[in-house]
Structure 1
Amino acid sequence: MKKYIILLVVGLMLSCDSDSTSNSDSASNDTGKAGSLARFTTYNDYLYTVDNQNLNVFSIVNREEPVKVNELIIGFEIETLFNYKEYLYIGSQNGMYIYSVQNPEQPEYLSDVQHFTACDPVVANATHAYVTLHADIGCGTTINILEIYDVTDVVNPVLISSRNLTKPIGLGLYNDYLIVCDDEVKIFDVSDPENSVLVHAINRDAFDVIINNDTLILIGENGLYQYSLNPNSIQNTEELSTINI
């Protein structure tokens, strides 16, 4: 519960920074400012949230009086929600689901992939979806891996890469780099998604990341940590600030 409260607060803080929603064409918005463990996202004038088995749709045309307009059963043990443009990527303990919100009040099921029972956040861009499966109390597995799917055809996701990690959880995309919270914060070059390469690591214990332009926010049990990112030299991450919690 503490994790979700921290993520909600940070997501709301960042949303105040921008007049656009997370379907924007900008790279920073496409990576999702709410983080990979978030259970809510926005698209145009709609707010989407997930609970244990449902996707809930709210109209926020009137921001002071949101109106619930739809509720869809997705599955069981739904955990995370991430959107890239008009697509929702929904992580559960049993798999990943992809929905279209071209009709924002009527999300349309497109596809899903199933895996061993595991805790499962997901982020995506126009061509690939990145999923971490990790062992955690209540997730029912000892598996700890990073999976990469080709989603060029969103109705037919294809697993193209899998690599073992230590305890991966939250993750985020920054240009051609994937940042993963593991036993440390690991940065992979995924310019060739079939052959990800570890290129840098940050010695921090964090469970999720939020990328806001060239700023990396690491979210841990005991604080928030801000770093600057250099797109021309990813190894030169500079710590900017720490907020102890």
Structure 2
Amino acid sequence: ALELIDFKNALEQFQNLVEKIIIQKTKKSSGLYTKDGDEIDYAKFCSTTRTLFGPAVKDQNIQAFFRKIMSNPDKRPEWPEIFGCFKGERDGMSSPSKENMVLLVSEKQQITHSVVKRKDVIKGIVKVPFLHLTITASQRGVLTVFNKQRKSFFSYCFYFHQDTAWITGCDYLPNLKYVVAVTESTIILWDYKSKESKSDGFVIKPMKNCLLCVCTVTVADNLPRDTILMGDDKGYVYLLTITSDDFIMKQSKAEKEPQFKVLDAESFDM
């Protein structure tokens, strides 16, 4: 919601900027314009537009938009054109209304991992609004947490290579602050916040049937526990509550690096 408000404010300022240019151009044409320090030339228009919208606007679109204003101020271009989006018209059909216009401005980032050589696909994507996180899980085991702060993205990426089964879904545990994902035979609990290692967490296995999906059950409490729902290929639905006590395990002194610890599925009440 905050991002939408920011965009609306930027759009309003941009439209005011265009209006000033049109007034300036009209006065120049009628000989009534007096040059002053507030004159808006192409350089000022370009820098102001970039300040408002950042990298979402391209040089060629800014230049084309400004040229249209200057060549015909009576027929101003539509604001989506600054992003390279144009309303199409067909013969015999009226142009779409503003309510039907869709503007998509996105940031693209390719999710790859050096271990994954074959073609991979995203099997799950979850947004965590209150933490500004977006979590993705690929079929072949790449879990990624995107964190958007200060209008830029950075990510944590982890490749789960301990299981040959494909990942089928993912979600976020808000109280324990873990990423949960399921494969056909295991439950993965990834501590993405671990600074010591990207491969720190727990694996619950074996599961009797093939897990196909997972989701978190929202509970209005701040207790150190989370509940998840899972569905399998036999039509069964599992309700599993995980607490912080489940993560307390005796660590071997020989373990120098954090790694995924295996928890017996039979020890959980599902």
Indicate whether the TM-score tops 0.5: no
Q: Which has the larger radius of gyration?
A: 2
| Structure richer in strand, relative to its length | 1
| Structure richer in helix, relative to its length | 2
- Greater relative contact order (Cα < 8 A, sep 6+): 1
